Amino acid sequence: MAHIVVPLDQPSNYKDSQSKVDRQKHTDLLAKSTTLYIGNLSFYTTEEQIYEIFSKCASSEDGGGIKRIIMGLDRNTRTPCGFCFVEYYTHAEALASMRYVSGTKLDERIIRCDLDLGYKEGRQFGRGKSGGQVRDEHRQDYDPGRGGWGAQAQRLEMERRREVEERYADAQDGAGAVAGGGDDWKDNSGSGVTDSKKRARSPDDDGEGRMGQRVRIDEDIEAERM
């Protein structure tokens, strides 16, 4: 359906540059994806703000909901660096976010959503040289929401910043660093207490620089801002 316009929930040319899957596999996986990559976040935006807007695309009555949010962190400082992953229980919810959330403002910035192959260990960290995202390495503009907040910072902003800095000071890497969000309902009766399961992880996934395409798209989004 929709021959007249291009639906907003089509996968864009965004991809994880470290992903080793081929194009066909990539397309197939995205057609079932329940995870979104969210870009152009303010460094100060909290998971709860993200939860609030993305929960409006959730369909709990259909077995969905927000499974987990993985905040993108600066590799060195362990502070948010402007991206995150939102994982739902169903694909339809991810598509709804593409249609209704992508391109709207959160914390007064236009955010961007892309279907993602799914979180893998290590992807929560920035891949730029200095620890943050690659796009912030070469960025020329002054962006108060993304670390461009100099000495003139107001007391309030400093306070928010301090909170944010403390928040993830305990962030870990390695297996089990990120919670799973809870599986679908399981029958526990009679089977005794089962231990929490660790998710299967890909051992060879180690993050490196996010690629040039990304920067280009982000610039397009910047241009859209009013």
Partner 1 sequence: MSYNQNRPYRGGRRRNRDDWDNNRRDAVESPEQRLKSAILKFGEVDAVEELPGLVKQIHAESTVVLPSSISEAFRIGVTEQPYKIPYYVALLRSLYDPSDVEGPPGAPPLARQILEDFWKGFQAYLDKLSWRDTRLCIHFFAHLTVAGIISADSMFGLLQSFTAVLDEFGVSHGRAKQAALCAAEGLMIAGQVLKQTSSSKVTDIMTAIQTYNDTTMTSRWIVLPLVHLHSTESNFHNVDELLDSLFLALKALDDSDFTENNYTYPQSYASFPALDSAEHPQFDLPSVLVPPEVIELDGLTNDDGEDVQVQKQEWPEYYIRLFDDEISPSPKTPLGYATRSTIVDVVDIFEVNRKECARLLLELPKWTSPGVFKPRPGAPAAEDPTPGPNWQLESSIIEVILGSLLVLPESSHKSLYYFGLITELCKLSPPTVGPAVGKSIRKLYTNLAEGLDVDVARRFAEWFAVHMSNFGFQWVWKEWIPDLSLDLQHPRRTYMRRAIEFEIRLAYHERIHKTLPPEMQDPASLTISEQPPGPNFEYDEAGTSLHNDPLVLVSLMLIPYADHVHHDAAQSVLNLLRGRAKPDDVIAELETLKSSLETSDTEHVDSVVRSIVVQSLLHIGARSFSHLLNAIERYLPLLRHIASAGVSSTGGSGNAEAKTDILTAAATFWRQNGQLVGIVFDKLMQYQIVDPTDVITWTFANGGAVSDRNQHSSKYMSMYEWDLVKGALDKANGRVMIARRKVTALRKEDDETRARANARVGETMEVDADGKADELPISENPQLTAALKAFATLTREQKAALSCTLEGFVGALTNPDQRVQVQQVVSAAEWETRETWNSEQWSAWETWGWYRNFCRMYSPYLRNYSTTLYTISLSRFEGSSDPVEQLLHKTWNIAMGVE
Residue ranges in 54-83 that form contacts with partner 1 under rule CB under 8 A: 56-57, 59-65, 68-71
CA distance linking residue 31 with residue 39, whole number of Å: 20
Q: Is 23 in the site for partner 1 (CB under 8 A)?
A: yes
CA distance linking residue 128 with residue 138, whole number of Å: 10
Residue ranges in 130-159 that form contacts with partner 1 under rule CB under 8 A: 156
Q: Is 96 in the site for partner 1 (CB under 8 A)?
A: yes
Determine which residue in the list 141, 185, 200, 203 makes contact with partner 1, applying CB under 8 A: 185
Amino acid at 171: A
Piece of the chain touching partner 1 by CB under 8 A; list 28-36, 45-53, 113-121, 142-150: 45-53
Instruction: Pick between residue 33 and residue 46 the one whose CB is nearest to partner 1.
Output: 46
Residue 35 · residue 116 · CB < 8 Å: yes
Q: Is 49 in the site for partner 1 (CB under 8 A)?
A: yes
C-alpha to C-alpha distances, 159 to 44, 156, 165, 166, nearest whole angstrom? 11, 5, 10, 11
Q: Is 200 in the site for partner 1 (CB under 8 A)?
A: no
CA distance linking residue 208 with residue 222, whole number of Å: 24
